[in-house]
Structure 1
C-alpha cells in the first residue's frame, strides 16, 4: 500500500467513524417503548426477506468472478456509513438551493425527493465504490461491479433500517407497512442502482473502452439517475393498484442490470487504465 492509498484509507475510516455515530448513535438515543422495541426487531427481520437474497446473490457472483470478498464487505460498510450520511448532507444542500428557486411550497414538497436523491445519492454511493477499489489497488470491471453492488446494498440496508425505526417509533401499525413497502421496491433499488452507475462510470472513464462501450456506460448512468428521479417523483403515485410506470421503471432498471452482468461476464478483466499507464504507475 503506497502513501496515497494510506491517506485514502485513513480518510475513509474518519468518515466511517462519523457515519457510524450519525446512523447508529442517533438510533440508540431514540426512546422506544418495550412493545415498540419488539416490533422494531420484527420489522428488521421482515427486511431480511430482501436483504439476505441480495447479499447471497452478490456473494456468489463475487466468488464466480474471483473478486475477493473483502471488496464486497468493505464497500457494504462504506455504503452504509459513508455514502449514507454524505448523501443526507448532499440532499440537504440541494434542498436548500431548491428552496430559493421553487417558491411554491406545494410544488417544492412534491418534487423535493426527485430533485435531490437521484443526484446526491448516486454520486456518493459510486464514489465509495471507486474509493475503496483505489485503496485495494483494483482497476478491473468485475471489481467495480461487485463494489458498486456492495456500496448500494450497504446504503439500502441502513436506509431501510432508518425508515422502519422512525415508523416503529411513531406508530405501531405503519412500521409493518413500511417494511413491506421497502421490500416491494427492494429488488430494483440502491444495490442495483449503484452497480449499474458504477459500471457506467467505469466504462466512461476507462482508457480501454471503445465508443460503443462508452455509449453503453453513458446509458447506464443517465438511465439510472432518470429512473431514480421518476421513482421519487409525483408521477410514481397513483390511486390504482396497477401502475404501468412502476412496471416500466422496474423492467428498464433490472434489464439494464442484466445487460451489465452479461457485459462484465464477457470482459471481466477490462481495465480502467491502459497497460502502459498501469506499468508506469507501478514504477
Structure 2
C-alpha cells in the first residue's frame, strides 16, 4: 500500500510538471514556423542525450543493474523535480529580495544562492523515492538512479531555457541550445548521481564523513557554476574537468568494490 501511494504521488507530481512545461510552451504564441524552429532545437539535445544513454547502458550492464525502468525514472524524475525546483528557486529568490531588498549584488548571486540547494535536494528527494520503490541495496545502483533522475531534470531545464530564448527572439534559440549542449558534459546528471550516492550512504549509515562529502560536493560545484565567477573564460572548463574527474574516481571505486565482492 505504501509503495502504491508513493508511486501515485510521483505520477501526480510528474503530470503537474507535464502540464506546466507544455503550458509554458503553448503560451509562447509562436507561428507554426517558429514552433518548428523550437522543436528542431529541442531535437538537437539528442546530441548529448544519446551518448549519455549509451554510457548509462554500458555501466549498468557491467554492474548488472536492471535498466528496465530507466525511461520511467527519467520521465518522472524530470517532470516531477523540474517544476518544483522552478517554484522553489522563485520562492528563495523572493525571500532573499524581501530580506535584503533589490540590489545589483543580490541579482548577480541569486542563482548561485538558490539553485544549488533547491535543485539538488529536489532531485535527490525523487531519486530516494525510486531507491525505496525499487529496493535498491547497492551504491552502484543508487549512483545510476541519481544520474537518470538528473538527466531527466537536465533535459526539462534545457527545454525551458530554449522556450525562454524563443520568447525573447527566435534568433536566440539555436545559440541557446548550443550553449546547453556545451554545458551538458558535466551537469545535472553528474551532480544528482553524486548527491544521491551521498544520501544513500547517509541513510544506510555507511561512510559517515564521506556521505556528507558526496552530498556537499555537487552543491558546491553547482554553486560555483551559477556564480558570477563563472563569467570568466577559465572557470567553466576547470569545473567541467573537476566534475568529470570526480565521477571517474567514483566509478572506479564502485567498480573495485564489485570486484572485491566477487572474490
Is TM-score (shorter-chain normalized) higher than 0.5? yes
2:127 maps to 1:135: no
2:245 maps to 1:255: yes
Structure 1 residues 182-261: aligned runs within 5 Å: 182-207=180-205, 209=206, 213-238=207-232, 243-261=233-251
CA distance in 2, matches of 1:195, 1:250: 15
For residue 138 of structure 1, give the secondary structure of its aligned residue in structure 2: coil
- When residues 139 and 89 of structure 1 are mapped into structure 2, their CA distance, relative to the original with a 3 A threshold, is farther
What do the CA deviations read for 1:38-63 (whole angstroms, capped 9, x no partner)?
Answer: 21122112221111111221122222
User: Which segment is superposed worse, 217-226 or 24-33?
Assistant: 24-33
User: Which segment is superposed worse, 261-270 or 222-231?
Assistant: 261-270
Structure 2 residue corresponding to 1:88, chosen from 86, 97, 118: 86
Question: Unaligned regions of 5+ residues in structure 1, if any?
Answer: 271-283
Question: Unaligned regions of 5+ residues in structure 2, if any?
Answer: none
2:257 maps to 1:267: yes
- When residues 27 and 104 of structure 1 are mapped into structure 2, their CA distance, relative to the original with a 3 A threshold, is closer
Deviation at 1:104, TM superposition (A): 4.1
**8 Å contact kept, 1:220–1:256:** no
Structure 1 residues 10-89: aligned runs within 5 Å: 10-89=8-87
- When residues 168 and 268 of structure 1 are mapped into structure 2, their CA distance, relative to the original with a 3 A threshold, is farther
CA distance in 1, matches of 2:96, 2:213: 26
CA distance in 1, matches of 2:112, 2:128: 25
Alignment RMSD: 1.9
2:117 maps to 1:119: yes
For residue 44 of structure 2, give the secondary structure of its aligned residue in structure 1: helix
User: Which segment is superposed worse, 8-17 or 215-224?
Assistant: 215-224
CA distance in 1, matches of 2:110, 2:29: 29
For residue 200 of structure 1, give the secondary structure of its aligned residue in structure 2: helix
**8 Å contact kept, 2:28–2:163:** no
The TM-score, its normalising length taken from structure 2, stands at 0.92
- When residues 61 and 197 of structure 1 are mapped into structure 2, their CA distance, relative to the original with a 3 A threshold, is same
